[in-house]
């Protein structure tokens, strides 16, 4: 456990006159985020090959709410200078963006590295450097070459090795100028969308098997990339490598239920975080036990949750320098009347609902629950021995055009929850708003707008216009003081 001295120091640096007036600790980073597929466009420019997402949206437009694709989206591939100006105008410390695997390695392997892709990302980094904005580079935010998907994608056990060699190319080419890397974005979200709900490519319903296998390979991939950095680059470049999890907060629906909220944590957050951040490594005991029991009862020879050998438990444990947390919302959990169906929710044995008191957003799955973030940060502090955490996504969708008071209130209340968690001894070093621009929202197409900056998708110039929240956020960033919005 961390020392009392350190805790006092941290608490004192979040000077608190009253709850409506908190100061950010020295060195706390505030930034904005995006991802390659959602903003770059330029899907077939230069020698880039098609990705799993290009393939999916072109072949199954009916799977996307508005039938759209991200062939052009915000066209940030061509408009990156304008975007960096916008970021600079916000006054933020950092920008989180991802690199596109099929742009950098068009053939899917590191035997051929695209010069034009390297040029593009270096130009973007040049712009950020010139403005003093710190880059946070996500190596994989859900898009990989379709040639790899054809070979099985994340269900192919060679994927961890392919990913590590892609990561090595990124470290080799950008490690001298990027000090924060995030290996993978949200393994549990990607894998359940791809193999449970089938709303992401390859849209295969392999409930209770494919989803587990996919996360298993992603955890191995992360560890491989992490150790590659450690062995080959850390001494020279002195950067940090983390992994991003989306964790929802959870509260037991019934106050007397002392099990459900912890179970919810372990099956969603612990599934991905326990193997990396816990002292013992491996999946959470309760998850191993439950999936094994259900598998046996269903006639499987062994658990549908794959097993890590002792080698892998050790190799994965500790394979991150920081925990990148993406937090949007929370849920109420209660025991599920189980069916015989083979799937992850049945293994977990919970069902979820929202508290009607929680505020709504444009997106149905997103309720405004900042207290869920505060609680989650404390759980992470306690379960994983106070790891360093960066909030790498937090944001809200709004349908109100540029008058986005909901966003101001959402960001304010979540920043406040973070500062209170820091007072409680959580080691949170930064906050990243999702997202900079209105952009392509995966299977929801352009129907949800998370951006601080509105993009006019009907205008050929894709005109960017700051929403009301921009002025408010700029003020907070420049004063480093979290004042309550009136
Ligand atoms: C996250 C994802 C982002 C963005 C966001 C809002 O899960 O990492 O790419 O889409 O949700 O829906």
Query: 235: Cβ–Cβ under 8 A, 6 or more apart, which residues?
Result: none
Over residues 73-83, the mean pLDDT reads: 98
Taking CA atoms only, the protein residue closest to ligand 1 atom 4 is 441
Q: What CATH number should be reported for the domain holding residue 365?
A: 3.20.20.80
Mutate to test the pocket of ligand 1, among 218, 245, 363, 434 (most ligand atoms within 8 A of CB): 434
User: CA 202 to CA 216: how far, in whole Å?
Assistant: 17
What is the number of the ligand 1 atom nearest to the C-alpha of 35?
Answer: 9
Instruction: Please write the tens of the pLDDT for every residue from 125-170.
Output: 999 999 999 999 999 999 999 999 999 999 999 999 999 999 999 9
Instruction: Please write the tens of the pLDDT for every residue from 108-126.
Output: 999 999 999 999 999 999 9
Over residues 19-41, the mean pLDDT reads: 92
pLDDT band, very low/low/confident/very high, at 11 (cuts 50, 70, 90): very low
| 403 has catalytic annotation | no
CA dihedral (267, 272, 277, 282) positive or negative: positive
From the candidates 127, 186, 268, 441, give the one annotated as an active-site residue.
Answer: 186
- Structure token digits, residue 438: 């209105």
Closest CA to 21 of 415, 406, 303, 360: 415
From the candidates 40, 149, 348, 393, give the one annotated as an active-site residue.
Answer: 393
User: CA 62 to CA 225: how far, in whole Å?
Assistant: 35
Question: Roughly what angle, to the nearest 10 degrees, separates helices 4-13 and 405-423?
Answer: 150
Centre of ligand 1 from the C-alpha of residue 149, in Å = 21
| 186 has catalytic annotation | yes
Instruction: Please write the tens of the pLDDT for every residue from 174-187.
Output: 999 999 999 999 99
Count Cβ atoms below 10 Å from residue 13 Cβ, excluding itself.
15
Range of the domain at 455: 29-260+322-327+353-479
What is the number of the ligand 1 atom nearest to the C-alpha of 450?
Answer: 6
pLDDT band, very low/low/confident/very high, at 337 (cuts 50, 70, 90): confident
Instruction: Please write the tens of the pLDDT for every residue from 296-314.
Output: 999 999 999 999 999 999 9
Residue pointed to by tokens 């490690």? 175
Share of the chain above pLDDT 70, in %: 96
* Per-residue pLDDT, 13: 52
What is the number of the ligand 1 atom nearest to the C-alpha of 363?
Answer: 12
Is a pLDDT exceeding 70 seen at residue 16? no
Centre of ligand 1 from the C-alpha of residue 236, in Å = 33
Residues at CB less than 6 angstroms from ligand 1: 35, 38, 185-186, 189, 246, 326, 393, 434, 441-442, 450
Does residue 249 form part of some domain? yes
Is a pLDDT exceeding 60 seen at residue 18? no
Does residue 473 form part of some domain? yes
Does residue 298 form part of some domain? no
In this prediction the pTM is: 0.96
Does residue 35 form part of some domain? yes
What is the number of the ligand 1 atom nearest to the C-alpha of 395?
Answer: 6
Closest CA to 33 of 136, 149, 174: 136
Centre of ligand 1 from the C-alpha of residue 442, in Å = 8
Centre of ligand 1 from the C-alpha of residue 432, in Å = 12
Number of domains in the chain: 1
Does residue 11 form part of some domain? no
Is a pLDDT exceeding 50 seen at residue 452? yes
* Per-residue pLDDT, 54: 98
Centre of ligand 1 from the C-alpha of residue 168, in Å = 25
């Amino acid at each position: 456990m961390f020392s009392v001295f350190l805790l006092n120091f941290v608490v004192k640096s979040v000077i608190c006159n009253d709850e409506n007036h908190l100061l950010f600790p020295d060195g706390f980073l505030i930034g904005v985020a995006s991802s390659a597929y959602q903003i770059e466009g330029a899907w077939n420019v230069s020698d880039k090959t098609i990705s799993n997402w290009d393939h999916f949206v072109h072949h199954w437009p009916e799977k996307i709410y508005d039938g759209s694709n991200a062939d052009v989206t915000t066209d940030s591939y061509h408009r990156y200078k304008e975007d960096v100006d916008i970021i600079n105008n916000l006054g933020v410390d950092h920008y989180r963006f991802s690199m596109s695997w099929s742009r950098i390695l068009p053939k899917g392997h590191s035997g051929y590295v695209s010069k034009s892709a390297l040029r593009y990302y270096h130009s973007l980094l040049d712009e950020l450097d010139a403005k003093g904005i710190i880059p946070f580079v996500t190596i994989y935010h859900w898009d990989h070459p379709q040639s790899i998907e054809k070979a099985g994608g994340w269900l192919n056990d060679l994927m961890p090795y392919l990913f590590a060699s892609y990561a090595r190319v990124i470290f080799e080419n950008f490690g001298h100028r990027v000090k924060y890397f995030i290996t993978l974005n949200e393994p549990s979200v990607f894998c359940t969308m791809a193999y449970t709900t089938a709303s992401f490519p390859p849209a295969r319903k392999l409930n209770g098997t494919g989803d587990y296998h996919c996360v298993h390979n992603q955890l191995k991939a992360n560890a491989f990339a992490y150790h590659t950095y450690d062995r080959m680059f850390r001494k020279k470049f002195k950067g940090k490598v983390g992994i991003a999890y989306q964790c929802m907060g959870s509260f037991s629906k019934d106050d007397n239920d002392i099990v459900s909220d912890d179970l919810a944590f372990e099956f969603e957050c612990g599934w991905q975080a326990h193997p990396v951040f816990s002292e013992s490594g491996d999946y959470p005991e309760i998850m191993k036990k439950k999936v094994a029991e259900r598998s046996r009862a269903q006639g499987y020879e062994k658990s549908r949750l794959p097993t890590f050998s002792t080698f892998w438990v050790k190799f994965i444990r500790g394979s991150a320098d920081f925990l990148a947390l993406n937090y949007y919302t929370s849920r109420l959990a209660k025991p599920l009347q189980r069916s015989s169906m083979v799937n992850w929710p049945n293994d977990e044995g919970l069902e979820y609902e929202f508290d009607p008191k929680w505020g709504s957003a444009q997106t149905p799955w997103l309720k405004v629950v900042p207290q869920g973030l505060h609680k989650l940060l404390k759980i992470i502090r306690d379960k994983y021995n106070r790891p360093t955490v960066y909030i790498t996504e937090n944001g809200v969708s709004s349908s109100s055009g540029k008058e986005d008071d909901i966003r101001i209130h959402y960001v304010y209340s979540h920043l406040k929850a973070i500062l209170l968690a820091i007072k409680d001894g959580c080691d949170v070093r930064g906050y990243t708003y999702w997202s900079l621009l209105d952009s392509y929202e995966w299977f929801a197409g352009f129907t949800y707008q998370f951006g601080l900056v509105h993009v006019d998708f009907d205008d050929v110039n894709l005109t960017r216009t700051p929403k009301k929240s921009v002025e408010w956020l700029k003020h907070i960033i420049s004063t480093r003081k979290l004042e309550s919005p009136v």
